[in-house]
């Protein structure tokens, strides 16, 4: 009561552009001659349930606008125990894959007035294990794991995008690998290819195993034989096309004949093409190459890369939407362990009829 109250309802010209230090609920209430309770209820839209007079609501809203009131997020979170924030774990944010998924995640989250923290673990063990707890200590309400294994069970919902499936109330958003493999292999088969080489992904990439499994099953269905001597694996954590180039060099050095290559991703397909060129082989005349992912440069490179398009943005959106649902409804007996999204096949110019 001692201090001079800012302005007790007196008439006053337009208050100076409120560059004020964030007004609190308290000041707002005082300025209105109301209790914090009432103001809070109006601001939260629960005015109806508490019978606040319509005229009062208008007064509050108007004053809030004028004084530029913003509720303190800490205080609000402390009471309500809600942060409206989720955490997103990715291997490396600057890589196209994660960035595209993040774009989709953002689309959905921000629409629901959620924010998100991003952390990238770079496949380093201590980060992989530490980040979930770190995120939890920041009060996230859920976690989206992109191409990232989650081992321990967490006290919040977790949705993975192309991640290792690990049960325990973990919802996985996955590409329909079977359809993807069918697209690529049917295409090659129809072009007459029988001796197809495969470049498998690095062991740490979570897509490696399911995609290979799908390839095996589809080959079997299509009556294609997998020649073990034509299967190589990417190695090293280096991004870009180098690993694919190395893998193809190794394959070529072995000297086995093949007319087509199905690469693990577009980056390795590009590396493979570079290696083929260096060895005097022409794509697609001598060897056809099919990539995976459909990254932007797949369209602009020469020759344009035939590849399987992954709807990464859509996967991000689906992941976020699913996570929001889990947060809202609780993780009650996850109805389904995974959601499949459909790939698209993009035929460009790196594939042609098998050389006879």
Partner DNA sequence: GTACCTGGCACAATCGATTGCGCTCCTTCG
Partner DNA sequence: CGAAGGAGCGCAATCGATTGTGCCAGGTAC
Asked whether 291 and 187 are in contact (CB, 8 A), the reply is: no
What is the end-to-end Cα distance of the chain in Å, rounded?
96
Residues in the interface with its own copies (CB under 8 A) total 84
Task: Give me the least distance between CB of 180 and its own copies, in Å please.
Answer: 21
Q: Judged by CB, which is closer to its own copies: 85, or 206?
A: 85
> Which of 19, 55, 167, 280 is the binder for its own copies (CB under 8 A)?
19
In this structure, are residues 117 and 85 in contact, taking their beta carbons and an 8 Å threshold? yes
Between residue 24 and residue 53, which ones bind its own copies under the rule CB under 8 A? 42-45
Please report whether residue 4 would count as binding its own copies according to CB under 8 A: yes
Contact call for residue 14 and its own copies (CB under 8 A):
yes
Residue 40: which of its own copies, DNA, none does it interact with, CB under 5 to 8 A by kind?
A: DNA
Cβ proximity to DNA: between 8 and 167 the closer is: 8
**Which DSSP letter does residue 6 get?**
S
Binding-site partner at residue 328 among its own copies, DNA, none, CB < 5 to 8 Å by type = its own copies
Strands (E) in 242-346, as ranges, are 260-262, 288-293, 306-309, 338-341, 344-346
Instruction: Provide, rounded to whole angstroms, the least separation between the CB of residue 189 and its own copies.
Output: 28
Distance, CA of 175 to CA of 178 (rounded, Å): 9
The residue written with tokens 């309500």 in the block is: 80
Stretch that binds its own copies, among 11-19, 32-40, 200-208, 218-226 (CB under 8 A): 11-19
**Whose Cβ is closer to its own copies: residue 110's or residue 254's?**
110
Q: Is 314 in the site for its own copies (CB under 8 A)?
A: no
Q: Contacts with its own copies in 171-200 (CB under 8 A)? A: none
Q: Mark 283-317 as b/e (b = at least 16 C-beta within 10 Å).
A: bbeebbbbbbbbbeebeebeeebbbbbbbbbbbbb
> What does each C-alpha distance from 110 to 84, 102, 320, 328 come to in angstroms?
10, 12, 10, 16
Binding of its own copies by 82 (CB under 8 A): yes
How long is the chain?
Answer: 356
**Site for its own copies, residues 323 to 352, rule: CB under 8 A:** 327-328, 330-331
């Amino acid at each position: 009561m001692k201090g001079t109250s800012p302005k007790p309802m007196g008439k006053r010209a337009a208050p100076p552009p409120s560059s004020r230090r964030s007004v609190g609920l308290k000041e707002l209430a005082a300025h209105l001659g109301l209790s914090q309770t009432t103001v809070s209820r109006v601001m939260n839209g629960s005015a109806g349930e508490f019978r606040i007079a319509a005229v009062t609501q208008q007064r509050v809203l108007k004053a809030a606008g004028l004084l530029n009131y913003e509720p303190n997020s800490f205080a609000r979170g402390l009471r309500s125990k809600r942060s409206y924030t989720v955490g997103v774990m990715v291997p490396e944010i600057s890589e196209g894959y994660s960035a595209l998924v993040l774009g989709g995640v953002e689309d959905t989250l921000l629409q629901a007035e959620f924010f998100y923290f991003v952390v990238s673990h770079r496949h380093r063990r201590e980060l992989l294990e530490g980040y979930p707890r770190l995120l939890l200590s920041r009060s996230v309400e859920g976690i989206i794991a992109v191409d990232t294994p989650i081992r321990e069970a967490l006290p919040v919902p977790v949705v993975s995008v192309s991640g290792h499936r690990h049960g325990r109330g973990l919802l996985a958003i996955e590409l329909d690998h079977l359809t993807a493999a069918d697209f690529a292999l049917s295409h090659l088969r129809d072009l007459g290819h029988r001796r197809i080489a495969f470049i498998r992904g690095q062991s740490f990439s979570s897509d490696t195993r399911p995609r290979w499994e799908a390839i095996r099953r589809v080959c079997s269905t299509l009556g294609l034989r997998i020649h073990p001597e034509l299967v190589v694996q990417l190695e090293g954590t280096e991004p870009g096309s180098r690993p694919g180039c190395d893998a193809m060099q190794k394959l070529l050095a072995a000297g086995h004949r093949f007319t087509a290559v199905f690469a693990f991703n577009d980056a390795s397909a590009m590396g493979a093409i570079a290696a083929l060129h260096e060895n005097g082989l022409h794509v697609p005349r001598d060897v056809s190459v099919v990539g995976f992912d459909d990254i932007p440069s797949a369209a602009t490179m020469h020759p344009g890369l035939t590849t399987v398009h992954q709807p990464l943005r859509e996967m991000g959106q689906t992941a976020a939407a699913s996570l929001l649902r889990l947060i809202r409804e609780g993780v009650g007996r996850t109805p389904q362990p995974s959601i499949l999204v459909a790939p698209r096949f993009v035929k460009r110019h790196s594939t042609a009829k098998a050389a006879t």
